[in-house]
């Protein structure tokens, strides 16, 4: 194959522009991205070699080497992983396979400040090399291919890239960064070691660098560090989740999260456990602070990486986390699953079911814990000095933050996860007619119910303003009864699955004839009955006139100021739902 020139896919060109223009303030992240690609490549080889050990050839070691050359101004990251064929290099380093890229790109405003926040949600991966390099060459040979079928990919990160065939003795990939003038600080062993410790210490492969020694200068020349030809591992080379908790710092947990999630923000919280029992596994689960741009994408899978005895098996192991917890990121390492487990097998495995149940429970307890610490209620008695630990304090406000980002997704669990429905219901938060913000739990509501009130009342609407001003609320306002205001699209659907909370029924104020029961006194009841009697002839006329439009016309006691309002039958589709269907063209 002679040298060929290819154009980057339009989205890649756009991404490249963005990467080089918005991320220059944090250039060092390229270390994390390129080392994580090298590590992924080794994981892939290890996995493919489970079925075909000849792929290792005469190089059984899986490792990453980082080298720099002061004179050539290059930094090279070499791995002995799966490598790439020429075709794979063209596809993987010229297009973005991830679905949703287009949608993501459309969201970009062109404003660097906001865009650089957004881009954090999107793995910048390989292209982050162009933050520090004005030219990148990638030399690679796929495991299993002959030395003559190596490939060299070269680009300056603008419109296009070149690809040619080369001979490469070694399996795997070298990424050679030709550093920009202003990125020469990375040609420094000490600096590189520091970055590897910060970003890649958790990686389970050895990351090697050549040892350097100080050599005094001769003949008045200054001394310098010189390479010794001996390579040493600069990371711990043990997968983070396999280490005891007490040996892991918060900073290490956070960096690990950033590496697996591509998020630039620290997570809200995490939980790391070894679970022993019917099946043995380690779980390290994180709750992000911000929703990713593709949270509602259909093909979006759970962010759980599955390992079996420290061997990486697959990303996006959706069998391990239900849809409504798809925002959770982390690692599960099973001691009991077979190494050659497939997606199909995962669906049926009893061990997977146990792991999934255990992980769901863990996530719900993490959320419950955050919810408990959300508001630190000041002690009613000022004399009592509150003792609040720093750890507790650090959790304040986090649940509200979580709920604003993921509350609507969590609600899907009411319909999806019957076994945990009650726990999920307790985690819900709503606005209400008497309390602003998403601050009212169903338990709070219950505690504030009026004497004689027998139901939890709620109304659904498109917006908070529409809900608040609904004429259906009039009688509740007059009587000072709190009504929950629900404005999420999923509320209507999700609430179908919650008939009652802790023994108290939930009732929509927009459905059927609202029965205020004991909240209405005898006088009011009598007045309502008399009115209904008196209006009978009028109602009959209205009913006749509206016969194509309304099923029934009734006198009601729910209104105070408004002359009339629309309601739906009990058990019927609510107005909100009917509007949703109309929007969807049904």
For ligand ADP, the binding residues (CB under 6 A) are 33, 37-38, 40-41, 79, 81-84, 92-93, 123, 125-127, 173
DSSP reduced 3-state for 130: helix
Binding mask 82-121 for Mg ion (x = CB under 5 A): ----------------------------------------
Contacted entry of Mg ion, ligand ADP, none for residue 259, CB cut-off 5 to 8 Å set by kind: none
> Least Å distance between CB 62 and ligand ADP?
12
> Least Å distance between CB 125 and ligand ADP?
2
Stretch that binds Mg ion, among 123-131, 286-294, 301-309, 380-388 (CB under 5 A): 123-131
Stretch that binds Mg ion, among 33-41, 203-211, 274-282, 337-345 (CB under 5 A): 33-41
In the block, tokens 């711990």 appear at 236
43 vs 139, which CB is nearer to Mg ion? 43
**Which residues fall in the annotated binding site for ATP?**
33, 37, 79, 84, 98-100, 121-126, 173, 343
Contacted entry of ligand ADP, Mg ion, none for residue 358, CB cut-off 5 to 8 Å set by kind: none
> Least Å distance between CB 81 and ligand ADP?
5
CB-neighbour burial class of residue 579 (10 A; exposed 0-12, middle 13-18, buried 19+): middle
- Sheet arrangement for strand 74-79: 4-7, 160-166, 150-155, 133-141, 172-179, 74-79, 64-69, 207-215, 224-233
96 vs 313, which CB is nearer to Mg ion? 96
303 vs 407, which CB is nearer to ligand ADP? 303
Task: Check if the beta carbon of residue 334 is closer than 8 Å to that of residue 355.
Answer: yes
- Sheet arrangement for strand 329-334: 269-275, 281-287, 329-334, 303-308, 311-314
Stretch that binds Mg ion, among 1-9, 32-40, 222-230, 285-293 (CB under 5 A): 32-40
Binding Mg ion (rule: CB under 5 A), the pick from 81, 125, 358, 407 is 125
Contacted entry of Mg ion, ligand ADP, none for residue 82, CB cut-off 5 to 8 Å set by kind: ligand ADP
Contacted entry of Mg ion, ligand ADP, none for residue 157, CB cut-off 5 to 8 Å set by kind: none
Q: Residue of minimal CB distance from ligand ADP?
A: 125
Task: Check if the beta carbon of residue 502 is closer than 8 Å to that of residue 442.
Answer: yes
CA torsion sign for 89, 95, 96, 97 is negative
15 vs 370, which CB is nearer to ligand ADP? 15
37 is a contact residue toward Mg ion (CB under 5 A): yes
> Least Å distance between CB 90 and Mg ion?
17
> Least Å distance between CB 38 and ligand ADP?
5
> Least Å distance between CB 261 and Mg ion?
12
> Least Å distance between CB 168 and ligand ADP?
13
37 vs 204, which CB is nearer to Mg ion? 37
> Least Å distance between CB 41 and Mg ion?
10
Separation CA 76–CA 35 (nearest Å): 11
**Which residues fall in the annotated binding site?**
33, 37, 79, 84, 98-100, 121-126, 173, 343
CB-neighbour burial class of residue 475 (10 A; exposed 0-12, middle 13-18, buried 19+): buried
83 vs 358, which CB is nearer to ligand ADP? 83
Separation CA 558–CA 541 (nearest Å): 21
Contacted entry of Mg ion, ligand ADP, none for residue 428, CB cut-off 5 to 8 Å set by kind: none
Task: Check if the beta carbon of residue 69 is closer than 8 Å to that of residue 237.
Answer: no
> Least Å distance between CB 408 and Mg ion?
30
100 vs 123, which CB is nearer to ligand ADP? 123
Contacted entry of Mg ion, ligand ADP, none for residue 286, CB cut-off 5 to 8 Å set by kind: none
**DSSP H/E element including 533:** helix 522-534
> Least Å distance between CB 406 and Mg ion?
25
28 vs 417, which CB is nearer to Mg ion? 28
3-state secondary structure 328-339: CEEEEEECCCCC
Radius of gyration of the chain measured on its C-alpha atoms:
31
Question: Residues 200, 295, 42, CA angle at the centre, nearest 5°?
Answer: 30
90 vs 295, which CB is nearer to ligand ADP? 90
Q: Which residues pair with 177 in a beta bridge?
A: 75, 136
Stretch that binds Mg ion, among 125-133, 149-157, 275-283, 386-394 (CB under 5 A): 125-133
* 99-105, Cβ contacts within 8 angstroms, sequence gap of 24 or more: 99/294, 99/297, 99/299, 100/293, 100/294, 100/297, 100/300, 101/11, 101/15, 102/11, 103/293, 103/294, 103/297, 104/293, 104/294, 105/11, 105/14, 105/15
Q: Which two tokens stand for residue 78?
A: 């070499």
* 571-574, Cβ contacts within 8 angstroms, sequence gap of 24 or more: 571/511, 571/512, 572/511, 572/512, 574/460, 574/492, 574/508, 574/510, 574/511
DSSP reduced 3-state for 67: strand
153 vs 281, which CB is nearer to ligand ADP? 153
In the block, tokens 């309304």 appear at 550
Stretch that binds Mg ion, among 37-45, 87-95, 288-296, 455-463 (CB under 5 A): 37-45
Q: List residues near Mg ion by CB under 5 A.
A: 37, 125
């Amino acid at each position: 194959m002679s040298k060929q020139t290819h154009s980057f896919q339009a989205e890649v060109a756009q991404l490249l522009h963005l990467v080089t223009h918005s991320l220059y303030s944090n250039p060092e992240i390229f270390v994390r991205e390129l080392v994580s690609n090298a590590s992924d490549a080794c994981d892939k080889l290890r996995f493919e070699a489970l079925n075909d050990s000849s792929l290792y050839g005469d190089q059984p070691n899986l490792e990453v080497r980082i080298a720099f050359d002061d004179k050539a101004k290059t930094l090279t990251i070499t791995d002995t992983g799966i490598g790439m064929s020429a075709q794979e290099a063209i596809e993987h380093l010229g297009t973005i396979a991830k679905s949703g890229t287009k949608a993501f790109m459309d969201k970009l405003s062109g404003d660097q400040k906001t865009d650089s926040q957004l881009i954090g949600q999107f793995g910048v991966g390989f292209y982050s090399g162009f933050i520090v390099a004005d030219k990148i060459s990638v030399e690679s040979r796929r495991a299993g291919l002959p030395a003559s079928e190596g490939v060299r990919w070269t680009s300056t990160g603008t419109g296009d890239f070149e690809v040619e065939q080369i001979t490469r003795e070694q399996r795997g990939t070298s990424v050679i960064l030709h550093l920009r003038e202003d990125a020469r600080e990375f040609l420094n062993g000490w600096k590189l070691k520091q970055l590897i410790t910060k970003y890649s210490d958790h990686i389970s492969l050895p990351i090697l660098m050549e040892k350097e020694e100080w050599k005094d200068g001769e003949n008045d020349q200054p001394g310098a560090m010189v390479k010794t030809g001996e390579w040493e591992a600069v990371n711990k080379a043990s997968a983070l989740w396999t280490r005891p908790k007490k040996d892991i710092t918060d900073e290490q947990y956070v960096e690990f999260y950033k590496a697996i999630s591509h998020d630039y923000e620290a997570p809200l919280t995490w939980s790391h456990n070894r679970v022993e029992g019917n099946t043995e596994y380690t779980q390290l689960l994180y709750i992000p602070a911000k929703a990713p741009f593709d949270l509602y994408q259909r093909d979006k899978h759970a962010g759980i990486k599955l390992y079996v005895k420290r061997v990486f098996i697959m990303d996006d192991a959706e069998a391990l986390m239900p849809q409504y917890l798809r925002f959770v990121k982390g690692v599960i390492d099973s001691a009991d699953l077979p190494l050659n487990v497939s997606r199909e097998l995962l669906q049926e495995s009893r061990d997977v079911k146990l792991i999934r149940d255990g992980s769901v429970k863990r996530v719900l307890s993490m959320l419950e814990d955050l919810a408990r610490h959300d508001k630190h209620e000041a002690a009613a008695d000022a004399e009592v000095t509150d003792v609040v630990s720093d750890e507790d304090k650090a959790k304040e406000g986090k649940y509200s933050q979580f709920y604003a980002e993921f509350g609507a997704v969590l609600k899907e669990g009411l319909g999806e996860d019957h076994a945990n429905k009650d726990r999920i219901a307790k985690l819900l938060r709503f606005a209400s007619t008497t309390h602003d913000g998403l601050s009212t739990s169903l338990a709070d509501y219950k505690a504030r119910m009026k004497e004689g009130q027998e139901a939890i009342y709620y109304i659904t609407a498109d917006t908070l303003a529409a809900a608040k001003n609904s004429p259906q609320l009039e009688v509740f306002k007059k009587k000072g009864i709190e009504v929950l205001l629900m404005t999420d699209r999923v509320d209507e659907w999700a609430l179908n699955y919650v008939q009652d909370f802790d023994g108290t029924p939930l009732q929509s104020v927009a459905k059927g004839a609202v029965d205020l029961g004991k909240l209405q006194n005898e006088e009011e009841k009598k007045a309502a009955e008399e009115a209904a009697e008196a209006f009978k002839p009028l109602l009959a006329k209205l009913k006749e006139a509206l016969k194509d439009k309304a099923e029934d016309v009734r006198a009601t006691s729910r209104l105070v100021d408004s002359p009339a309002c629309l309601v739906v039958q009990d058990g019927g589709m609510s107005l909100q739902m009917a509007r949703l269907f109309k929007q969807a063209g049904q």
